[in-house]
């Protein structure tokens, strides 16, 4: 009986996630479960900002006096961003930082055989002393990772060392021939002087015992003891790698002198060693390995950061399935379960703490940062997948855009930042001597100038050539130049990628157009540029998935759309292109037509369709007939198929693999309305836009052609030749943002040569210049405020007045998507007239429907 009790009670942890009470004001309470955040809705609504302030949590916990001789801890796996914990009204701890775990010992505060009240006061307000101060992601507030109640006997593996597992696995001299392992074990004694035994065993993946060590540990009264256990070298170890993530397992058991188990812990053991070389890149186990993978943020559509762990694990499977061999968990430590999965699946990890964009010159900021890095390293140290520990991202971003500070202030801030970097670097090297230290910078000479670029062992560059900066091809030139100037520096392309919305596609992709085609173009070129350069250790795309960034107003407001998969993790086509170049295990084909919805094409018009495959050549069949064979280069081929009106069946095959897709085409000659009733034009734009609500794809605009449609005058506003000139964003009252975002300015006449009949016409307008949101990531300098009389115009179709003196800025003080709808009878053609009274008229789109 007694033994059974001990077996049940040793080192027990249970999650206490359910049945918490939550309140914003301590008056109105609601029942919630953990993971929880209070920003799920307001970080995505039309009102600027989201609630950053206090949130109160409470839970009752019954503890039986049968457990009186146990030691009790609470463990919070992450609370964003500051937490103060009370037990039965007494403050037990305060923790700063929203992405690392903390524990607190609560034994003396417990009332046995009654209910105990746990209260947590959470604060996600801006705090000058807690990083991140500022970043391109939403700082959702709440208790968003598991809360655990841990009970342990009086002697146990320490829970007090920065919430680590109380032991650290170190590897010495791992090679093909041998592997040394030693383990630092921390044991806490809450009792009188006593003796304990520590048993450590290493088993292989099949559970065969490989080696074991038994060590006696004499513990003084109330002592915290550190012991170091060194195993004899393991001969011919099976090595761990992405291709073969072979894991041994370490088990640690703490027993009393009667052999009764007091505590037990496990860890994965993966034997591997890494080196980096500024000429030849990254090496794993002595072999060159180009690191190719992604960055990941932890939030998820409709969950904020409070994402069930099983959903999060699916991400890691998706990433592995794509063929990635590395993940940068950006810009903060993610859930530990995911690192364990990286061990198991074979994915190398870069993990970092969220010191992003700028630092505060204060002792408190330095202290919180240092503690955070200690927690980070100690909590994530034992995962063999973790090879890189980082601590700063684009730390001079704010400085680079700072137009207020004096030169002296800026110089002082550079010094402070460098000082913190050096401190964190030193700490990281000391705590994690076998890991690679990293940081990521943005395109700015300041990283070289200050010398911060040479502080970490590996420098990541976040480079957005062809998006925020210059052109796609400029990437290689920049990297070659850096390599030449700093030949001893190891480099990784730590971020890159354009925004892409699956509703937008085009034959002529352009910088900043958010089309999936531009996304393909940029990634395909970057991959070539990096794989052609042996000195580059690798590349991690920004980002695995679309993610929440409250201040953004791109094609989907409040979402950064640079994901290879959407916010709900539906893959964009580019995900499959990566799979085609990275995953060689099994033959694979993907026809990139997933988002080609309701495509309208003119008589002889074609649309280039990309086919992705890891096979050298493929055969393409169209509507049951063989069309052609193609060779693939860089994992893809672009084909112009003679698609017919209606449903088209595209089949692609090799001897080993087959895929078919259906594409629906509206093939039209003119406005004969023979096989269509409705026609939409994305005015002022080179983009097709699929509008879900209207279930129609708006076609790109053109200059007027007789017998067809187009503008007689005006200029495109928004995306121009190669620059984002300040797209109107955060447009309210619509989900069809991209339709409104591109528009024609100064157009007085627009013609559609429709035949005689009755039509319904919808016109789309937005005033583009209301309150442009300042977005440092857009690098847009356009911050003009609007003159409310900017533009006033009358809207006519043929002779019919649709709206007199349309003044968008006046009528809609915020940026609204405005539609005007009318019915009109015509003998011949529709001519839209926008007669200017003041300023230049604008128009974003038109949808016509033939009524009879």
Closer to ligand GCB by CB, 332 or 740: give it. 332
Site string for ligand GCB, 416-445 (x = CB under 6 A): --------------------------x---
**What distance in Å separates the CA atoms of residue 339 and residue 267, rounded to the nearest whole number?**
12
Site string for ligand GCB, 387-406 (x = CB under 6 A): ------xx------------
Q: Which two tokens stand for residue 748?
A: 């007085």
Q: What is the DSSP letter of 580?
A: H
Please report how close the Cβ of residue 474 comes to ligand GCB at its closest, in angstroms: 16
Closer to ligand GCB by CB, 150 or 356: give it. 356
Closer to ligand GCB by CB, 136 or 148: give it. 136
**What distance in Å separates the CA atoms of residue 574 and residue 711, rounded to the nearest whole number?**
34
Q: In what order do the strands lie in the sheet with 12-15?
A: 12-15, 147-152, 71-76, 102-105
Site string for ligand GCB, 229-258 (x = CB under 6 A): ------------------------------
Q: In what order do the strands lie in the sheet with 261-269?
A: 209-219, 194-203, 248-256, 261-269
- In the three-class reduction of DSSP (H, G, I as helix; E, B as strand; rest coil), residue 728 is classed as coil
Peptide bond before residue 35 is cis, with ω within 30 degrees of 0: yes
Closer to ligand GCB by CB, 105 or 495: give it. 495
Q: Which two tokens stand for residue 138?
A: 């939403």
Among 104, 560, 741, 807, binds ligand GCB (CB under 6 A): 560
> Binding-site residue total for ligand GCB (CB under 6 A)?
11
Please report how close the Cβ of residue 394 comes to ligand GCB at its closest, in angstroms: 5
Please report how close the Cβ of residue 543 comes to ligand GCB at its closest, in angstroms: 7
Please report how close the Cβ of residue 516 comes to ligand GCB at its closest, in angstroms: 17
Please report how close the Cβ of residue 547 comes to ligand GCB at its closest, in angstroms: 8
Please report how close the Cβ of residue 449 comes to ligand GCB at its closest, in angstroms: 19
Closer to ligand GCB by CB, 118 or 520: give it. 520
Q: Which long-range contacts (CB under 8 A, 24 or more apart) does 628-635 make?
A: 634/524, 634/527, 634/528, 634/581, 635/524, 635/577, 635/580, 635/581
* Residue 561 binds ligand GCB, judged by CB under 6 A: no
Q: What is the DSSP letter of 511?
A: T
Alpha-carbon separation of residue 456 from 278, 373, 440, 441 (angstroms): 13, 14, 10, 11
For ligand GCB, the binding residues in 624-643 under the rule CB under 6 A are: none
Among 136, 425, 501, 550, binds ligand GCB (CB under 6 A): 136
- In the three-class reduction of DSSP (H, G, I as helix; E, B as strand; rest coil), residue 547 is classed as strand
Closer to ligand GCB by CB, 134 or 409: give it. 134
Work out the burial of residue 49: count CB atoms within 10 Å of its CB; fewer than 13 is exposed, 13-18 middle, 19 or more buried: exposed
Q: What's the Rg (C-alpha) of the chain?
A: 30
Site string for ligand GCB, 483-502 (x = CB under 6 A): ------------x-------
* Residue 478 binds ligand GCB, judged by CB under 6 A: no
Closer to ligand GCB by CB, 383 or 464: give it. 464
- In the three-class reduction of DSSP (H, G, I as helix; E, B as strand; rest coil), residue 52 is classed as coil
Among 255, 562, 678, 833, binds ligand GCB (CB under 6 A): 562
Site string for ligand GCB, 505-544 (x = CB under 6 A): -------------------------------------x--
* Residue 777 binds ligand GCB, judged by CB under 6 A: yes
Please report how close the Cβ of residue 146 comes to ligand GCB at its closest, in angstroms: 26
Closer to ligand GCB by CB, 171 or 777: give it. 777
Among 124, 189, 379, 462, binds ligand GCB (CB under 6 A): 462
Please report how close the Cβ of residue 552 comes to ligand GCB at its closest, in angstroms: 9
For ligand GCB, the binding residues in 303-342 under the rule CB under 6 A are: none
**What distance in Å separates the CA atoms of residue 116 and residue 141, rounded to the nearest whole number?**
25
Please report how close the Cβ of residue 133 comes to ligand GCB at its closest, in angstroms: 13
Please report how close the Cβ of residue 135 comes to ligand GCB at its closest, in angstroms: 6
Cβ proximity of 356 and 131 under 8 Å: yes
Cβ proximity of 503 and 556 under 8 Å: no
**What distance in Å separates the CA atoms of residue 211 and residue 200, rounded to the nearest whole number?**
8
Q: In what order do the strands lie in the sheet with 90-96?
A: 30-32, 20-23, 54-63, 114-123, 82-87, 90-96
Closer to ligand GCB by CB, 135 or 504: give it. 135
Please report how close the Cβ of residue 461 comes to ligand GCB at its closest, in angstroms: 10
**What distance in Å separates the CA atoms of residue 767 and residue 771, rounded to the nearest whole number?**
10
Cα torsion 664, 670, 676, 678: sign = positive
Please report how close the Cβ of residue 807 comes to ligand GCB at its closest, in angstroms: 35
Q: In what order do the strands lie in the sheet with 842-843?
A: 715-717, 743-745, 842-843
Phi, psi of 566, rounded to the nearest 5 degrees: -75, 180
**What distance in Å separates the CA atoms of residue 717 and residue 725, rounded to the nearest whole number?**
8
Please report how close the Cβ of residue 326 comes to ligand GCB at its closest, in angstroms: 17
Binding site for ligand GCB (CB under 6 A): 135-136, 393-394, 442, 462, 495, 542, 560, 562, 777
């Amino acid at each position: 009986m007694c033994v059974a009790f001990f077996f049940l009670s040793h080192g027990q942890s249970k999650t206490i996630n359910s049945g918490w009470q939550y309140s914003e004001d301590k008056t109105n309470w609601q029942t919630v479960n953990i993971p929880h955040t209070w920003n799920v809705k307001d970080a995505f609504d039309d009102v600027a900002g989201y609630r950053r302030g206090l949130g109160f949590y409470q839970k009752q916990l019954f503890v039986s006096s049968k457990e009186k001789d146990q030691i009790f801890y609470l463990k919070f796996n992450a609370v964003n961003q500051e937490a103060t914990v009370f037990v039965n009204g007494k403050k037990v701890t305060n923790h700063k930082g929203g992405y690392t775990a903390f524990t607190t010992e609560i034994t003396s505060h417990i009332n046995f055989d009654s209910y105990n009240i746990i209260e947590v006061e959470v604060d996600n307000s801006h705090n000058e002393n807690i990083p991140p101060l500022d970043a391109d992601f939403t700082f959702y507030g709440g208790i968003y990772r598991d809360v655990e109640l841990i009970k342990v006997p009086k002697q146990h593996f320490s829970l007090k060392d920065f919430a680590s597992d109380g032991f650290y696995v170190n590897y010495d001299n791992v090679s093909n021939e041998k592997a040394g392992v030693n383990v630092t074990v921390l044991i806490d004694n809450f009792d009188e002087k006593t003796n304990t035994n520590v048993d450590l065993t290493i088993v292989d993946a099949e559970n065969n015992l490989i080696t074991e060590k038994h060590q006696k540990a004499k513990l003084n009264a109330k002592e915290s003891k550190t012991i170091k256990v060194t195993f004899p070298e393991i001969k011919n170890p099976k090595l761990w790698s992405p291709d073969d993530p072979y894991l041994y397992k370490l088990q640690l058991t703490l027993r009393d002198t009667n052999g009764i188990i007091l505590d037990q812990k496990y860890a994965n053991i993966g034997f591997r060693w890494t080196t980096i070389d500024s000429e030849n890149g990254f090496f794993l186990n002595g072999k060159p390995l180009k690191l190719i993978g992604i960055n990941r943020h932890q939030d998820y559509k409709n969950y904020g950061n409070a994402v069930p762990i099983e959903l999060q694990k699916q991400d890691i499977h998706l990433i592995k399935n794509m063929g990635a061999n590395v993940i940068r968990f950006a810009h903060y430590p993610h859930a530990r379960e995911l690192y364990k999965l990286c061990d198991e699946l074979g994915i190398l990890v870069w993990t970092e703490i969220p010191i992003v964009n700028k630092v505060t010159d204060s002792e408190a900021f330095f202290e919180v940062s240092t503690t955070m890095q200690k927690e980070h390293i100690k909590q994530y140290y034992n995962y063999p997948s973790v090879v890189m520990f980082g601590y700063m991202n684009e730390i001079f971003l704010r400085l680079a855009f700072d137009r207020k500070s004096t030169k002296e202030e800026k110089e002082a801030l550079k010094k402070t930042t460098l000082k913190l970097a050096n401190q964190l670097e030193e700490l990281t090297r000391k705590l994690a001597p076998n890991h690679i230290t990293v940081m990521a910078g943005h395109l700015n000479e300041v990283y070289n100038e200050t010398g911060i670029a040479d502080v970490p062992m590996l420098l990541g560059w976040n480079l957005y050539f062809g998006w925020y900066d210059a052109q796609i091809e400029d990437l290689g030139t920049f990297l070659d130049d850096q390599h030449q100037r700093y030949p001893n520096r190891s480099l990784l392309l730590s971020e890159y990628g354009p925004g892409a919305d699956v509703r937008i596609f085009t034959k002529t992709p352009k910088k900043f157009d958010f089309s999936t085609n531009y996304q393909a173009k940029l990634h395909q070129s970057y991959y070539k540029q990096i794989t052609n350069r042996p000195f580059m250790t690798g590349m991690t795309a920004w980002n695995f998935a679309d993610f929440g960034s409250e201040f953004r107003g791109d094609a989907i407001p409040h979402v950064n759309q640079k994901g290879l998969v959407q916010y709900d993790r539906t893959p964009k086509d580019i995900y499959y292109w990566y799979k085609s170049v990275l995953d060689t295990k099994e033959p694979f084909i993907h026809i990139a037509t997933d988002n080609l919805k309701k495509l309208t094409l003119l008589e002889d018009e074609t649309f280039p369709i990309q086919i992705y495959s890891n096979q050298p050549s493929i055969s393409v069949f169209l509507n049951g007939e063989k069309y052609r064979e193609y060779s693939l280069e860089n994992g893809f081929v672009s084909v112009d198929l003679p698609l017919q009106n209606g449903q088209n069946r595209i089949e692609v095959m090799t001897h080993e693999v087959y895929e078919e897709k259906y594409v629906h085409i509206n093939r039209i000659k003119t406005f004969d309305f023979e096989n269509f009733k409705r026609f939409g034009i994305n005015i002022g734009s080179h983009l097709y836009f699929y509008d879900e609500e209207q279930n129609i794809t708006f076609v790109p605009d053109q200059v007027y052609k007789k017998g067809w449609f187009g503008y007689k005058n005006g200029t495109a506003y928004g995306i121009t030749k190669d620059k984002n000139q300040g797209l109107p964003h955060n447009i309210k009252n619509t989900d069809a943002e991209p339709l409104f975002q591109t528009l024609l300015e100064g157009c007085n006449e627009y013609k559609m040569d429709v035949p005689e009949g009755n039509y319904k016409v919808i016109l789309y307008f937005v005033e583009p210049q209301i309150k442009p949101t300042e977005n440092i990531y857009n690098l847009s300098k356009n911050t003009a405020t609007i003159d409310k009389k900017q533009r006033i115009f009358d809207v006519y179709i043929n002779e019919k007045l649709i709206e007199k003196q349309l003044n968008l800025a006046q009528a809609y003080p915020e940026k609204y998507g405005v539609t005007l709808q009318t019915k009109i009878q015509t003998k011949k053609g529709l001519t839209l007239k926008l007669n200017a009274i003041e300023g230049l008229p604008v128009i974003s789109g038109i949808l016509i429907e033939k009524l009879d």
